[in-house]
Structure 1
Amino acid sequence: MYTRIAVNVPSITGLFDYSLPPELEGQLGAGHLVTVPFGKQTVQGVVLELVSQPSVAETKPVLDLLDPQPVLTAAQIELAKQLAESTLNPLAAIINLMLPSGLSQQADTRFEIRDSRLENGHRSRITNHESRKSSLESRLLDLLQTRGPLRGRQIDRHFSRVDWRKTAQYLVRSGVLTSQSILPPPSIRPKFIRTAQLAVPPEDAEASMSKLGKTAATLKRRQAALRFLISVLEPVNVSWVYAESGCNLSDLQEMDERGLVVLRETEIWRDPLQRIESRELESSEPPELTLDQQKAWEQILKAFESYLLPPSSFIFHPSSFLLHGVTGSGKTEIYLRAAAEAIRRGKQAIILVPEISLTPQTVRRFLARFPGQVGLVHSKLSEGERYDTWRRARL
């Protein structure tokens, strides 16, 4: 079996076939993010399809699978192909628009001074023949000497609007610098915290209280930690246990070895909406529609019945509706019902808020109606929050 891949290399428009190594058989499919060899580089790519026969005589193998879950759906792949064709852009550039910042990475070059003696000798030649080019050489060498090996994008930030790459390649050919092609790993990944949880029935934990330490101070800390874990029962961030009991990690590790406590790494979702408390939310009961709302809703419901295909299909024929009404006339309730109907049919809904000042009010309305199902995306989110919101939308 072979894979057809769009590689994440600027200006490359074609698709490339790679062989599927035995260790990845059964794990790869359309939409998976992988690393592959491309020339002398290692680059990222997205699998578009599996094929039985490659388009070339010799193929290189896929190197690694970066995410066990596909990063693109079949619908997104088809949309990306259509956009690439209609806008005359590389397919990889369109795919990058569909991935959260930090997940997709492009190959880069790492520069390093080869030998301080060569660097000093070259610097003396620069001093004897100062020019604009040699001045840039000196500045580049100063930067690498001060900060050590740097990637090309790091040097870009230092030499804003200066074409330093030709100078760097000249220094590589001169033997002053070394260069190495690298592929940075994704800068975002799931976040894990260390948690503690009671591992035995509360009565067994109570019975062991007198045997938790040899000194009075140790015994007091561990008893406080164990009593706190008895009171909560569920996994708790160890920092919370420290704050409530005064214990430390070695105390918890000792109780873990005794089988009283379980320490584990637990994934947490970075969700900006967690800061909104449930008491702040309005009633989630849908109100009775007014006559005008009912007329509008009936038209939208007809469109659902007429155009949406079964949930397994990603092809649909959209209908557009414009709701007209003054503030407070009930337009948001129609949006809420349309979103609920889409979800009931196995689809998803995107709500675009026209003004940032309307976001808190709109978010609370949707959170109250769809608890645990709302994700928020805006320009002020951290990369981790954006990544986790994107992941939740794929579940």
Structure 2
Amino acid sequence: METSSSTQAPQFADVSINLAHIDRSYHYAIPEELQGKLQPGCLVVVPFGKQVVQGVVLAFIDQPEVPHVLEIQELISEETVLTPAQLALAEWLARETFAPLGACVSLMIPNGLSQRADQLISLVRDFDEPPAEMPPLQKRILKLLKARGSLRGGQIERALPKLEWRRSLDTLRKNGWLKTKSILPPARISPKTVRTAQLSIPPKAVAALDAQALSRRTETGERRLKVLQLLAQEAFPVDFSWIYA
């Protein structure tokens, strides 16, 4: 990966696509409004084929590998989601294990942040009724947006199930009826609960116990005694996963 050494604002970035099956990074142009805001480790929105997906900036480059490159569409946050050490580790994992780079980078992204982008669709023109000559599906889309306001692509999908509405949406956008913007759903982050165990008796009391006092079955009693002995050795609560290991 060739990094940029120029003192001027970098024009291109090497981006890892956050799709598990992608085994390499891709070069993107940095639009003027994002120059000076990006840094390695930032989470961005980029076009990839017919999709709009998340990616992580790996480094800046002087020249892209192809003459015509697509632009980064959006910067999700100026705060980096990965440190230089994590980026280096992801590249090392991909190189040493032959795993796709996208999968290795995704492993490092905080839980709840790695999601596919959606579109926010908003009306541009005001109207009472769509033009009579407009195709029925385009009319339905306009009426839906007029009634409910701006909607995400997933919401339109649920409102118009089993219909090929995306092509009609693209036509409406090109004709100036609406605009679209790439967005990401709110991060699905919830507190992590860890079950722990800790003695409720003095550790010295464990030494006086025997397996028969803990269970009528010898095997069960011995297993319980080992658990108590483990807890007696630890000054802090013990994660359940240690006990079951």
TM-score of the pair, normalised by structure 1: 0.37
Gaps of at least 5 residues in structure 2 are 5-12, 208-217
C-alpha deviation, 1:169, in angstroms: 1.6
Q: Which has the higher contact order (CA 8 A, sep 6+)?
A: 2
Residue 184 (structure 1) aligns with: 184
Amino acid at match of 2:83: P
C-alpha deviation, 1:6, in angstroms: 0.3
Does the residue aligned with 1:170 lie in a helix, a strand or coil? helix
Q: 1:56-75, aligned counterparts within 5 Å?
A: 56=65, 65-67=78-80, 70=83, 72=86, 74-75=88-89
Gaps of at least 5 residues in structure 1 are 127-132, 190-268, 289-324, 338-364, 377-395
Are the structure 2 counterparts of residues 333 and 103 from structure 1 closer, same or farther at C-alpha, using a change threshold of 3 Å?
Answer: farther
Q: 1:183-332, aligned counterparts within 5 Å?
A: 183-184=183-184, 187=187, 270-273=191-194, 281-282=198-199, 327=220, 329-330=222-223
For 2:160 and 2:225, the matched residues in 1 are separated by 49
Does the residue aligned with 1:120 lie in a helix, a strand or coil? coil
Residue 148 (structure 1) aligns with: 149
Match of 1:108 among 111, 118, 122: 118
Does the residue aligned with 2:130 lie in a helix, a strand or coil? helix
For 1:332 and 1:94, the matched residues in 2 are separated by 41
Residue 17 (structure 2) aligns with: 7
For 2:171 and 2:20, the matched residues in 1 are separated by 23
CA RMSD in angstroms, aligned pairs only: 5.2
Does the residue aligned with 2:146 lie in a helix, a strand or coil? helix
For 2:169 and 2:26, the matched residues in 1 are separated by 30
Is the Cα contact below 8 Å between 2:45 and 2:182 reproduced in 1?
no
- Return the structure number with greater strand share: 2
- Return the structure number with greater helix share: 1
Are the structure 2 counterparts of residues 282 and 183 from structure 1 closer, same or farther at C-alpha, using a change threshold of 3 Å?
Answer: same
C-alpha deviation, 1:146, in angstroms: 1.8
Is the Cα contact below 8 Å between 2:46 and 2:55 reproduced in 1?
no
For 1:97 and 1:332, the matched residues in 2 are separated by 38
Does the residue aligned with 1:102 lie in a helix, a strand or coil? coil
C-alpha deviation, 1:103, in angstroms: 0.8
For 2:151 and 2:142, the matched residues in 1 are separated by 11
C-alpha deviation, 1:149, in angstroms: 1.2
For 1:142 and 1:22, the matched residues in 2 are separated by 39
Are the structure 2 counterparts of residues 375 and 172 from structure 1 closer, same or farther at C-alpha, using a change threshold of 3 Å?
Answer: farther
Q: Which structure has the bigger radius of gyration?
A: 1
For 1:332 and 1:96, the matched residues in 2 are separated by 42
For 1:164 and 1:332, the matched residues in 2 are separated by 64
Residue 168 (structure 1) aligns with: 169
For 1:333 and 1:161, the matched residues in 2 are separated by 58
For 1:44 and 1:114, the matched residues in 2 are separated by 26
Does the residue aligned with 1:181 lie in a helix, a strand or coil? strand
Does the residue aligned with 1:67 lie in a helix, a strand or coil? coil
Residues matched between the structures, number: 206
C-alpha deviation, 1:370, in angstroms: 4.6
